[in-house]
Amino acid sequence: MDAPLLDLRGISKRFPGVVALEDVSLSVGRGEVVALCGENGAGKSTLMKILGGVYQPDAGEIRLEGRPVVIPAVNDAQRLGIAFIHQELNVLDNLDVAANVFLGREPFRGPFRLVDRKRIYADTEPYLKRLGLEISSRTRLDKLSLAQQQMVEIAKALSLNARILIMDEPTSSLTLSETDRLLDLVVELRKQGVSLIYISHRLGEVDRCADRVVILRDGKNAGQLSRQEISHDRIVGLMVGREIKSFYVKSNAAKTPGYFKVRNLRSSRYPARAVSFDAARGEILGFAGLVGAGRSELAKAIVGLDPCATGEILLAGQKLALRTSRQAIEHGIYLVPEDRRGEGLVVRMSVRENVSLPWLRRFSSLGLIQRERERQVAAEQVATLKVKTPSTETLVLNLSGGNQQKVILGKWLSREPKIMILDEPTRGIDVGAKAEIYRLMRDLAESGSVVLMISSDMEEILHVSDRVAVMHEGEISGVLQRADCTEANIMQLAVGRKVPAALPAFAE
């Protein structure tokens, strides 16, 4: 039998403190569509980055048509005929189709090496035809829909003689009919002999176009399914088969159900999907879901940071008007955002200035800041949260990730939170600081706050949450009571399937 077109064998990759991939193998035959599935953080992206020349594997080899190859840089992947279609498009929307397809490889003409305009357009047309794309090669990219722009990227890949096309969540921003067309195209490309690696969370798409599904779990091969064996249950089963030790400790806090109610909240990301849920005083409600399920958007809508959001928010039976983030903050509703350095902190300001930023008016008389009070409050937070910083005057820039996160927490904890929303609270934070943050969330809940925790880390969700709300494409697909919080149940809901144990998110 022929060697497969692409064969990854025994690939391992370690990052400081984590094993991202361990002895992973993956092969792709000519004209085969292999779907790559796995939870957030299972190692899919790392594997693809190794294939793309972004990372070098610590062990293992890559064979192309049976011959071992090394891919030291991004250009080399291109030279070997490996092309990527990323989730975020990589096009220049101020240029036309032909200029995008031949970017960096424009045909020249004449003594001044001017771009040969006739040839560039003529050369682009066949690729567009091959993709069944009925647009002119002279159309500017910003006149095209997202789906069409994506097709242009595929045309570019084909023009580079790509033999292996890697699509990473290609349908995440496409409409249903556009998704349909893309899947048709995948089938068409396979017929033309192109091999594809298709990464997607959407099992329906996998089901439709894949010849084979390879499942990764915790950086290892979890198994594979052939065309005949593909079913949602089996894929999810392999994705979640890992063992998770739960450190969950039942909390004895008195809970007040229905203390915080959200009704028909629509964010600008998913205007057609309304979200409603209840949260109890004294509980930690986890928000699970796959990346892009609309959890961060929901959080921003709650705290008044989404000007287009509509819906109702009730706290202790009282309807709140949360048009601006100021109003939310005045009601004690705070957000610890996902993007710590971009949204959570002014990194070129001191610990003191960051902690006091939302409360400056309270620290001032006649508009002038009372620095001594400001410093005291910051020092208190530094002490209670055990922030490792030389002083309250140190720039936040110079602190570690965990300590930066503690500064954001200190900012909000300096005035009692009623609702505390934490978006990926421990991402990129070392184990010690993680444990401290978990304890802090529990303390907060026990002292009578509502804690909403968004996390893509399954372990964290299972470890911390009293209940778990699972989101799928902008909606809450179900809420699981503590006893029903299993990885399998959460994954099923996260990919949009029904689970008997799941409850509706709210009670009227």
Partner 1 sequence: MKKEAGISVLLFALCAVTACLNPKFISPVNLTNMANIIGLFGIFSIGLGLIIITGGIDLSVGSMFALGGVLLSIALREWHCPWPLAALLVLVIIMTLGWMHGWLITRMRIQPFIVTLCGLLLYRGLARFIAGDATKGFGNCEGFELLRDLARGKLLGLPMPFILLLVVAVVMWLVLHRSVYGRYLFAVGRNEEATRFSGINTRLVIASTYIVAGLLTGISAILFAFYTNSVSPSTHGNFYELYGIAAAVLGGCSLRGGEGSILGIVIGTALLQVLQNLVNLLGIPSSLNFAVMGAVVLIGVLADQLFQRRAEKKLLKS
Select 162 or 329, whichever has its Cβ closest to partner 1.
Answer: 329
Query: Mask of contacts with partner 1, 132-151, x by CB under 8 A?
Result: --------------------
Select 358 or 448, whichever has its Cβ closest to partner 1.
Answer: 358
d(CA 197, CA 163): 11
- Phi then psi dihedrals of residue 189, to 5 deg: -65, -35
Q: Give the nearest distance from C-beta 341 to partner 1 in angstroms.
A: 8
- Is the CB of residue 505 less than 8 Å from the CB of residue 260? no
Our finding on whether 323 is near partner 1 (CB under 8 A) is: no
Our finding on whether 328 is near partner 1 (CB under 8 A) is: yes
Our finding on whether 411 is near partner 1 (CB under 8 A) is: yes
Q: Give the nearest distance from C-beta 360 to partner 1 in angstroms.
A: 4
Tell which phi-psi region holds residue 373, choosing left (phi > 0), alpha (psi between -120 and 50) or beta.
alpha
Q: Give the nearest distance from C-beta 357 to partner 1 in angstroms.
A: 4
Q: Give the nearest distance from C-beta 385 to partner 1 in angstroms.
A: 18
Provide the residue type at 24 as one letter.
V
Q: Which stretch binds partner 1 (CB under 8 A): 15-23, 173-181, 225-233, 318-326?
A: 318-326
Q: Which stretch binds partner 1 (CB under 8 A): 33-41, 214-222, 261-269, 324-332?
A: 324-332
Secondary structure of residue 120 in the 3-state scheme: helix
Task: Find the binder of partner 1 among 12, 27, 136, 325 (CB under 8 A).
Answer: 325
Supply 82's token pair.
């490996």
Task: Find the binder of partner 1 among 369, 379, 488, 501 (CB under 8 A).
Answer: 369
> Could you tell me which residues are beta bridge partners of residue 195?
164
- Is the CB of residue 306 less than 8 Å from the CB of residue 267? yes
Select 229 or 330, whichever has its Cβ closest to partner 1.
Answer: 330
284-289 vs 212-217, strand pairing mode: unpaired
Q: Give the nearest distance from C-beta 304 to partner 1 in angstroms.
A: 8
d(CA 441, CA 422): 9
Select 364 or 376, whichever has its Cβ closest to partner 1.
Answer: 364
Q: Which of residues 331-360 bind partner 1 (CB under 8 A)?
A: 335, 337, 342-349, 353, 357-358, 360
Task: Find the binder of partner 1 among 42, 99, 329, 485 (CB under 8 A).
Answer: 329
Contacts 24+ apart (CB under 8 A), 236-239: 236/203, 236/488, 236/491, 236/492, 236/495, 236/497, 237/488, 238/37, 239/37, 239/38, 239/39, 239/42, 239/215, 239/491
Select 26 or 399, whichever has its Cβ closest to partner 1.
Answer: 399
Our finding on whether 432 is near partner 1 (CB under 8 A) is: no
Q: Which of residues 65-124 bind partner 1 (CB under 8 A)?
A: none
Q: Give the nearest distance from C-beta 276 to partner 1 in angstroms.
A: 25
Q: To 10 degrees, the CA torsion angle through 440, 443, 444, 448?
A: 180
User: Which segments of 359-418 are extended strands (E)?
Assistant: 364-365, 368-369
Q: Which among 487, 447, 445, 493 has a CA at the least distance from the CA of 469?
A: 493
d(CA 209, CA 227): 9
Query: Mask of contacts with partner 1, 273-312, x by CB under 8 A?
Result: --------------------------------x-------
Q: Find the farthest-apart pair of alpha carbons in the chain and give their distance in angstroms, rounded.
A: 84
Q: Which residues bind partner 1 (CB under 8 A)?
A: 305, 324-326, 328-330, 335, 337, 342-349, 353, 357-358, 360-361, 364, 367-369, 411
